Amino acid sequence: MSLLRIIRNLLPRAEVAAIAEGQFGDIVKAVVDVHRRILAIGGEMHSDEEALLLDDGSKQQDLWGINLYPAETGAEWIEFDSMINVRPGQGNRSRDVEDPALQETIRTIVRELIA
């Protein structure tokens, strides 16, 4: 059963925890579309979620990979680490989302969609 899906409406955090438990134990990979304010979760790799969002009409430059740790709170809940984030052409030269303003946008979208 594939857990890969696009989140457009509020998803309970308990459901994110269940996805984590069924996959990696304590982590859920996610890709956020910062323009459309949606996210994809449940893929084995960030590239799976990226592909799903691209097929749904997202633009690659708007997609950023993160990891969610549903058992954590505060800053530890979201990790800004993914190979899809390496984009020298957009000024992001590492796996991390380097721009603090972009990180805050991603945090806001996650708060809007997961509670």
Per-residue pLDDT of the chain (115 residues), as tens digits, is 568 999 999 999 999 999 999 998 999 999 999 999 999 999 999 999 999 999 999 999 999 999 999 999 999 999 999 999 999 999 999 999 999 999 999 999 999 999 9
**Other Cβ atoms within 10 Å of 92 Cβ, number:** 16
The pLDDT score that the predictor gives to residue 112 is: 97
Alpha-carbon separation of residue 17 from 12, 31, 66, 74 (angstroms): 9, 16, 15, 16
The CA radius of gyration of the chain, in Å to the nearest whole number, is 13
Q: Nearest-CA neighbor of 41 among 70, 64, 71, 16?
A: 16
pTM of the model: 0.96
Q: Take residue 38 and report the two structure tokens written for it.
A: 């949606």
